[in-house]
Amino acid sequence: MTLFEDVRYGLRTWASNPGFVVVAITALALGIGANATVFAITNGVLFKGLPFVDNDRIMYLSTKNLNRGARRAGVSYPDFRDWKAQAKSFTGMGSYDFQAFNVADKTGTPDHYFGSRMASNNFQLIGQKPVLGRDFIPSDEQPGAAPVAI
């Protein structure tokens, strides 16, 4: 059989069974779409990394709580201070903690927001600057310092 005969045979089969063609094309489209989606997510998350300068040099450190089945746990602030003081392999270390906040003025009821507390050098470490206003400064971390938000 030649290629021309194979194409003619395929077209005749499609014409005699259009329901099968619709199902086959739909299955192919869904399979290709799902594959492209998984590839895009995997490529963006695992291979491209974070959208920062020198993102391949940013690490996330955590501890394991063996009493809870070795799940990843956060690091206490005293442990973080010790790590930061003793680390010799890192350019710098920062920390963060997700929290819920209630914010209110003198005239209204509090509003509930989600945010994070972080070390004063976090934006500097990832090479980011605020669009407006100032960055955090080390004195913002001192006990009794006025609250600062970005």
- pLDDT value, residue 43: 82
Q: Decide if pLDDT at 70 tops 70.
A: no
User: In which band, very low, low, confident or very high, does the pLDDT at 1 lie, cut at 50, 70 and 90?
Assistant: low
How far CA 111 is from CA of 22, 35, 91, 104, 108, in Å, comes to: 53, 42, 38, 6, 9
- pLDDT for res 29: 96
Residue closest to 117 by CA, chosen among 104, 100, 132, 134? 100
Better pLDDT: 103 or 69: 103
| Distance of alpha carbon 71 from alpha carbon 64, whole angstroms | 6
Mean pLDDT within 4-25? 88
Which sequence spans correspond to the domains of the chain? 3-47, 55-141
Model pTM score = 0.57
pLDDT value for 126: 85
Read off the pLDDT of residues 90-148 as tens digits, 9 standing for 90 and up.
Answer: 888 988 888 898 888 888 888 999 988 888 888 888 888 888 889 999 899 888 999 88
User: Mean pLDDT across the chain, nearest whole number?
Assistant: 86
List b or e across 71-82, with b for residues whose CB sees 16 or more CB atoms inside 10 angstroms: eeeeeeeeebee
- Position 34 scores a pLDDT of 95
- Name the phi and psi angles at 37, rounded to 5: -65, -50
Give the HSE-up count for residue 58: Cα atoms under 13 Å, Cβ half-sphere.
16
CB-CB contact of 85 with 77 (8 Å): no
